[in-house]
Amino acid sequence: MTRQRSPKKSETIEIRLPFTTKAAFIARCRDDGRTVSEAVRGFIDSDLAQTLPASSSPLRGWPMLAAAAAGLALGAAAAPSLAETKPASPAAFIQLDSNHDGVLSFDEFRRRN
């Protein structure tokens, strides 16, 4: 008996997201005992299984769908972590706004330390 190999994983998808979202997703994957690639591939596979009609070509529109699925997976996984972020206090802004004009200039921001 010959065993069929699964297709080689040679393609990549690049998405842009905030560092905090990426870090939260990586931490979630590590806690779940899986790689980021496994998590994104699993989401894409399940999304494709639910959305493609039987008569549709499996390759038609796949790149756009895969990019959207990966973005949704990363955003959904990181959303709870981002919700816990606490905003800066008004006192912090007042301290940075050295000329008290209600606007934080780049120079004021740069002098924060």
Instruction: Check whether 27 has a pLDDT greater than 60.
Output: yes
CB 74 within 8 A of CB 21: yes
Q: Distances from the Cα of 20 to the Cαs of 70, 79, 85, in angstroms?
A: 16, 10, 10
* Helix 36-51 / helix 62-83 crossing angle, nearest 10 deg: 120
Where exactly are the structural domains of the chain?
19-86
Q: For residue 19, how far is the Cα from the chain centroid?
A: 9
Q: What is the pLDDT of residue 53?
A: 60
Instruction: Check whether 96 has a pLDDT greater than 70.
Output: yes
CB within 8 Å of 4: residues ≥ 6 apart: none
CA dist 80 and 57 (Å) reads 36
Name which residue leads in pLDDT, 61 or 14.
Answer: 14
**Average pLDDT across the chain, whole number:** 76
CB 7 within 8 A of CB 65: no
Q: What is the pLDDT of residue 32?
A: 87
Instruction: Check whether 68 has a pLDDT greater than 60.
Output: yes
pTM: 0.41
List, for residues 2-18, the tens digit of each pLDDT value: 777 877 888 888 888 88
CA dist 104 and 26 (Å) reads 33
